[in-house]
């Protein structure tokens, strides 16, 4: 049974997002990230998604083996859709996880958004798998922790700033090259 506080708090969900839910784009940090592992533990109600974000890793001089981990705690649901196929069972998620980790597989992120509400988060990932499929993964959970593979926890804002710094520097360098080559329109 839900407490009175839980009944008042909006639940972050992509299908029917309630008023007062904050939507954040994770594009700056997760665009072109390679999803290398997906682990769901239905008993513990946790989901862990391990990413290699090469451009962010190299820009910030993290070691080559550094992984960025999104760990969902208190998982309420995980939905994976692939075109018209709907996989809402743990077996369906397991098939997806095995595809992610298969030898020779590449699963790149091309869009990622997060909904935040008190005591609730929802993540929506659009992925590109090298087998020609484009799964969408939606996760609803009570909490999201972002960690480096070293164990260091990152605040959401810190994680977003890592990606923003990379893209801002890239844009600055492009503007400089345009100015130096006389392409700035002056």
Give me the pLDDT at residue 11, please.
59
> Who wins on pLDDT, 3 or 25?
25
What the block records as the tokens of 135 is 């799964």
Q: What is the pLDDT of residues 32-51, one digit of tens each?
A: 899 999 999 989 999 999 99
Q: In the predicted model, is pLDDT for residue 104 greater than 70?
A: no
- Sign (positive or negative) of CA dihedral 147, 89, 11, 7: negative
Residues 6+ apart with CB under 8 A from 73: 45, 46, 141, 142, 143, 144, 145
Give me the pLDDT at residue 49, please.
94
- Sign (positive or negative) of CA dihedral 34, 119, 39, 79: negative
Q: In the predicted model, is pLDDT for residue 178 greater than 60?
A: yes
Q: Give pTM, 2 decimals.
A: 0.81
Would you tell me how many other CB atoms lie within 10 Å of the CB of residue 34? 17
| pLDDT band for position 180 (cuts 50, 70, 90) | low
Give me the pLDDT at residue 84, please.
41
């Amino acid at each position: 049974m839900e407490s009175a506080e839980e009944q008042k708090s909006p639940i972050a969900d992509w299908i029917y997002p309630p008023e007062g839910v904050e939507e954040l784009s994770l594009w700056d940090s997760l665009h072109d990230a390679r999803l290398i592992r997906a682990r769901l533990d239905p008993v513990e109600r946790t989901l862990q998604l391990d990413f290699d974000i090469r451009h962010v890793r190299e820009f910030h001089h993290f070691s080559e083996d550094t992984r960025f981990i999104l760990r969902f705690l208190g998982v309420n649901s995980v939905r994976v859709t692939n075109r018209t196929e709907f996989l809402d069972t743990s077996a369906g998620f397991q098939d997806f996880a095995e595809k992610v980790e298969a030898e020779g597989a590449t699963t790149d992120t091309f869009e990622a958004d997060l909904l935040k509400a008190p005591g609730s988060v929802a993540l929506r990932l659009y992925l590109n798998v090298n087998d020609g499929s484009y799964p969408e993964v939606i996760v609803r959970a009570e909490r999201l922790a972002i960690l480096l593979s070293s164990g260091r926890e990152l605040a959401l804002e810190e994680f977003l700033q890592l990606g923003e710094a990379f893209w801002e520097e890239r844009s600055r360098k492009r503007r400089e090259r345009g100015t130096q080559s006389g392409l700035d329109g002056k």
